[in-house]
Amino acid sequence: MTMDRITEIISIIEKNPGIKFREIMRETGLKNGVMSYHARKLEETGSVKIERKSGETRFYPLFVTEEESILITSLRRDTQRYILLALLEGKPLAFNEIVNKVKKAPSTVSTFLAKLVDDKIVELKIVELKKIYFLKNVDMVREIIQRYNPVLLERTAYNFADTFSSL
């Protein structure tokens, strides 16, 4: 195991917290078996955090906290990212306002919003018999987005990134 390869992989993980196994393979040009070997070595030496959930393997640098890793994973998923960015615009939002901003089916928004509430990223309050949603820790969401902006707001989220940078 060459130190140069390990250093390269760790560097990629530090710049892209929450990166998936296959993304690292693409970035490095490594084949599955070789990448599996390096991932096992990184895990054995405690050089990175590896999270395996629902058929997904994500890699995090050691300096990322558990709370940050949950947020980063959410920001890497399109619908959850759109919900978080909509809530970051300022005021708490009712469910139908989130659906309008995110432009996804209500059932899709409901599923991902419930996940964000379960993960304690979004809070829910009942106000005048309406469910109102807001970010639990606005500062942490802003800080994570600013720190990893290009990585987390890739592809179709650039228009949201422009909205965010104007806040």
Please tell me the predicted confidence (pLDDT) of residue 3: 64
In the predicted model, residues of the chain with pLDDT beneath 50 are 1, 155-167
> Domain segments of the chain: what residues?
3-63, 69-165
What fold, for 3-63?
Answer: Arc Repressor Mutant, subunit A (1.10.10)
| Class of domain 69-165 as given by CATH | mainly alpha
CB 85 within 8 A of CB 160: yes
Please tell me the predicted confidence (pLDDT) of residue 161: 44
CB 121 within 8 A of CB 84: yes
- The two tokens of residue 151 are 């990585």
Give which of 58, 97, 84 is closest to 136, Cα–Cα.
84
Rounded Cα–Cα distance for residues 159 and 28 (Å)? 29
Domains 3-63 and 69-165 share a fold: yes
Which backbone phi and psi does 137 adopt, to 5 degrees? -135, 85
29-53: pLDDT as tens digits: 999 999 999 999 999 999 999 998 8
Rounded Cα–Cα distance for residues 87 and 93 (Å)? 7
In DSSP terms, 123 is beta-bridged to 134
Rounded Cα–Cα distance for residues 28 and 12 (Å)? 9
Please tell me the predicted confidence (pLDDT) of residue 153: 52
The torsion region of residue 160 among left (phi > 0), alpha (psi -120 to 50) and beta comes to alpha
Query: pTM of this prediction?
Result: 0.79
Cβ-proximal residues to 41 (8 Å cutoff; 6+ apart), any chain: 1, 6
Rounded Cα–Cα distance for residues 71 and 21 (Å)? 19
